[in-house]
């Protein structure tokens, strides 16, 4: 809980700005805390007198409040369960105003535009430089995650003014270790959160405990990134493999974490999740005890050998010669797990990490090709598919029901006709879409929210 204010006696050479920097509070917070005693601070905050006794506000200190950021529809269940414990939970959920849109004081801001992002950032009452920096973070963030990031900025703005914000953070959604996303929602990446933390450093330093409720969120590389984003973080809870869903164990784990991190927790024990669903996949880290994932760290070369073993099988699944019966099990899932194990190692070189990340993104789309990817692609692009086939005098193909092998054959046949000289524009457009989307599984065409 917040501690009593400190006292400081002004010395020679002090300015309010220097004192604020020394105690990691804002000038505004110092003025608010001391204007009753020294009214001149309201009109002339640049002047302080030697010998003045200033109160240093500590509203930004540790507390048990939670900022809950949920990207999936099931996040509503998780938020309610956490709030039922009696703790103060501040929810950040998908905006009711639509993708990347937030309403503030009756005005809806479209954060995907320069004007909308800057207009929203101005409502936070930051300095001009900080306002511009926050707006740039929102513009650069992934589509359909700007609304959640904007709400985070709204909460964090209080810390930039020297006030209290939740010291505990939950990030909930699907994950491959680089952030969290939701069904039919965007991806809140660690990169975007990190950029916001850079723009709002006091808020980042106020975060003490983090829970990432998402699959593959607990690799050593991901944990190092979280530690860099939140320099004062004391504990982290995440997952080495799959994580429980909102209705299948996430609320149980979040309740365990909530109890374990009350007060100023310095350590966290993964054994509290024993005998719970997916408890074996829990990874914890604390500044005192370090990483505990239930396994000893494996050498980098050993992880590369594991991955190489599955490479030939991955090619067979990609071609459709082998079929995924269950996205959660089987040889392609083993390959996917091996990719994550290697990506989790902090010593993977940058160029290798980029290539592995691309293979990871391709493989997760391959795992869910029949279940979600092809059906959502077919529904989303139904008009383009119909027009493309009609332009060649052909009946449209229903890609939502085809096996991957049959779909690839249909794509090849259609593309060969669409590439012929004089083919209609609608056919060329569809050929490009089918090749990038269903054949190549390009993340720019197949968004995370379709997985």
Q: List pLDDT tens digits, range 23-50.
A: 777 777 788 888 889 999 988 877 899 9
Task: Give 312-346 as a DSSP string.
Answer: HHHHHHHHTSS--S-TTSSHHHHHHHHHHHHHH-T
Mean pLDDT for the stretch of residues 308-333:
91
What pLDDT is stored for residue 296 in this prediction? 59
Per the listing, tokens 């450093």 go with 201
Cα 383 to Cα 124: distance, rounded to the nearest angstrom = 42
Domain boundaries, the chain: 6-56, 66-292, 300-367, 371-450
Q: Which residues are CB-neighbours of 315 under 8 A, at least 6 positions away?
A: none
Cα 262 to Cα 164: distance, rounded to the nearest angstrom = 16
Q: Are 221 and 344 in contact (CB under 8 A)?
A: yes
Q: What percent of the chain has pLDDT over 90?
A: 72
What pTM does this model have? 0.74
CA distances, 400 to each of 4, 380, 396, 438 (Å): 62, 11, 12, 10
Task: Give 342-379 as a DSSP string.
Answer: HHH-TTS-HHHHHHHHHHHHHHHHHHTIIIIIHHHHHH
For 93, half-sphere exposure in the C-beta direction (CA atoms, 13 angstrom radius) is 13
More confident residue, 168 or 420: 168
Q: Indicate the average pLDDT of the chain.
A: 92
Per the listing, tokens 């691309």 go with 358
Query: What is the sign of the dihedral through the CA atoms of 418, 419, 420 and 421?
Result: positive
Top CATH class, 6-56: alpha beta
Q: 3-class DSSP state for residue 66?
A: strand
Mean pLDDT for the stretch of residues 116-132:
96
The helix (H) or strand (E) run that includes residue 210 is strand 209-213
Cα 222 to Cα 226: distance, rounded to the nearest angstrom = 6
Q: What percent of the chain has pLDDT over 70?
A: 97
Is the pLDDT confidence value at 2 over 60?
no
First to last CA, the chain: 40
Mean pLDDT for the stretch of residues 386-390:
97
**DSSP code at position 446:** S
Can you say how many angstroms the Cα of residue 345 is from the centroid of all Cα atoms in its chain?
A: 20
Cα 19 to Cα 11: distance, rounded to the nearest angstrom = 10
Helix%, strand%, coil% for the chain, nearest 5: 50, 10, 40
What pLDDT is stored for residue 47 in this prediction? 86
Strands 235-239 and 282-286: antiparallel
């Amino acid at each position: 809980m917040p501690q009593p204010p400190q006292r400081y006696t002004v010395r020679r050479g002090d300015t309010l700005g220097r004192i604020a920097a020394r105690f990691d509070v804002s000038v505004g917070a110092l003025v608010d805390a001391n204007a009753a005693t020294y009214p001149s601070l309201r009109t002339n905050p640049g002047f302080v007198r030697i010998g003045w006794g200033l109160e240093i506000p500590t509203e930004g200190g540790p507390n048990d409040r939670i900022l809950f950021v949920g990207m999936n529809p099931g996040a509503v269940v998780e938020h309610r369960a956490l709030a039922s414990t009696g703790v103060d939970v501040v929810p950040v959920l998908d905006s009711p105003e639509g993708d990347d849109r937030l309403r503030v004081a009756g005005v809806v801001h479209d954060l995907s535009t320069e004007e909308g992002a800057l207009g929203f950032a101005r409502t936070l009452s930051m300095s001009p430089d900080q306002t511009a920096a926050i707006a740039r973070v929102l513009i650069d963030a992934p589509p359909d995650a700007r609304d959640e990031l904007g709400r985070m900025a709204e909460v964090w703005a209080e810390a930039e003014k020297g006030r209290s914000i939740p010291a505990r953070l939950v990030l909930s959604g699907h994950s491959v270790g680089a952030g969290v996303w939701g069904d039919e929602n965007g991806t809140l990446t660690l990169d975007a959160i990190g950029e916001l933390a850079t723009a709002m450093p006091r808020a980042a330093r106020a975060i003490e405990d983090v829970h990432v409720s998402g699959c593959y969120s607990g690799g050593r590389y991901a944990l190092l990134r979280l530690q860099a984003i939140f320099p004062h973080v004391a504990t982290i809870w995440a997952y080495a493999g799959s994580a429980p869903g909102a209705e299948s164990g996430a609320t149980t784990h979040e309740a365990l974490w909530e109890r374990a991190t009350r007060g100023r927790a310095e350590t966290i024990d993964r054994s509290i999740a024993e005998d719970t669903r997916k408890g074996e996949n829990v990874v914890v880290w604390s500044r005192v005890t370090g990483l505990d994932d239930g396994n000893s760290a494996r050498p980098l070369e050993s992880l590369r050998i594991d991955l190489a073993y599955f490479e030939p099988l991955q090619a067979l699944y990609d071609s459709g010669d082998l079929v995924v019966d269950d996205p959660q099990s089987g040889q392609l899932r083993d390959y996917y797990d091996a990719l994550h194990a290697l990506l989790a190692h902090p010593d993977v070189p940058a160029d290798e990490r980029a290539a592995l990340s691309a293979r990871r993104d391709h493989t997760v789309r391959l795992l869910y090709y029949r279940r979600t990817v092809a059906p959502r692609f077919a529904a989303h692009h139904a008009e383009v598919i119909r027009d493309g086939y009609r332009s060649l005098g052909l009946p449209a193909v229903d890609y939502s029901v085809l096996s991957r092998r049959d779909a690839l054959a249909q794509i090849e046949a259609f593309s060969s006709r669409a590439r012929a000289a004089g083919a209609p524009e609608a056919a060329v457009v569809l050929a490009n879409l089918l090749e990038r989307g269903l054949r190549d599984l390009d993340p720019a065409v197949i968004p995370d929210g379709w997985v």
